[in-house]
Amino acid sequence: MSNVLSLFSAIKAFIFDIDGVMTDGNVHVLETGEHFRTFYIRDGYALEKAREANFQLCVITGGSHPGVKKRLENLKFQHIYFGLGGKDKLETYLELLPKLGVKENEILYMGDDMADLKVLSRPDILSTCPADAIPELHQVVKYVSPFNGGRGAVRDVIEKVLKLQGKWA
């Protein structure tokens, strides 16, 4: 773990998937047909702390639910890649990379499913996943959070970074 922890100390930007990472992956459907997802408040607290400490917050997701986008905007994410409509996440990541102005070893990416595999396989990023991510990702990532998606995995990685950098109050 000490080798992995040294990777956390270099991070300047966080990139997250939504469903299965920032949420538990469940989609609730109302009688009206409207969908909603549940976000974990402790993850939100860590995201606010990261933003206050001037980290870049980014999302790359295939989803396009307006309520989710509003949550991300309320959390003041600087980069939101939303509703990819089948577009490859790696292609989107490569578009985002120059906008971040950081090296790949300064990026932490957390994903949970096959759509994240190409990005998580990049050798220089700090690749992470929640405990309940698919087994294929557990074999590829550098760090598996002991917490599930939507239940503290996001807070886990942010807190590690901020504590190692002396920015967690």
- Return the CATH number at 75: 3.40.50.1000
| Distance from C-alpha of 149 to C-alpha of 36, rounded to nearest angstrom | 16
Domain that includes residue 54, residue range: 4-165
Annotated binding site for Mg(2+): 17, 112
**Helices and strands: H and E segment counts in the chain:** 7, 8
pLDDT tens for 35-68 read 778 889 999 999 999 999 999 999 999 877 788 8
| Distance from C-alpha of 2 to C-alpha of 129, rounded to nearest angstrom | 18
Instruction: Give exposure, 124-154, as e/b (b: 16+ Cβ within 10 Å).
Output: ebbbbbbbbbeeebeebbbbbbebbbbbbbb
pLDDT tens for 113-128 read 999 999 999 999 999 9
Q: Which residues contact 121 (CB under 8 A, 6 or more apart)?
A: 127, 140
For residue 86, what pLDDT is reported? Answer: 64
The pTM score is 0.93
Residue 1 has pLDDT above 50, yes or no: no
| Residue type at 127 in one-letter notation | S
Annotated binding site for substrate: 19
For residue 47, what pLDDT is reported? Answer: 97
Residue 17 has pLDDT above 90, yes or no: yes
Residue 97 has pLDDT above 50, yes or no: yes
Annotated binding site: 17, 19, 112
The domain total for the chain is: 1
Asked whether the beta carbons of 49 and 168 are under 8 A apart, the reply is yes
Asked whether the beta carbons of 93 and 70 are under 8 A apart, the reply is no
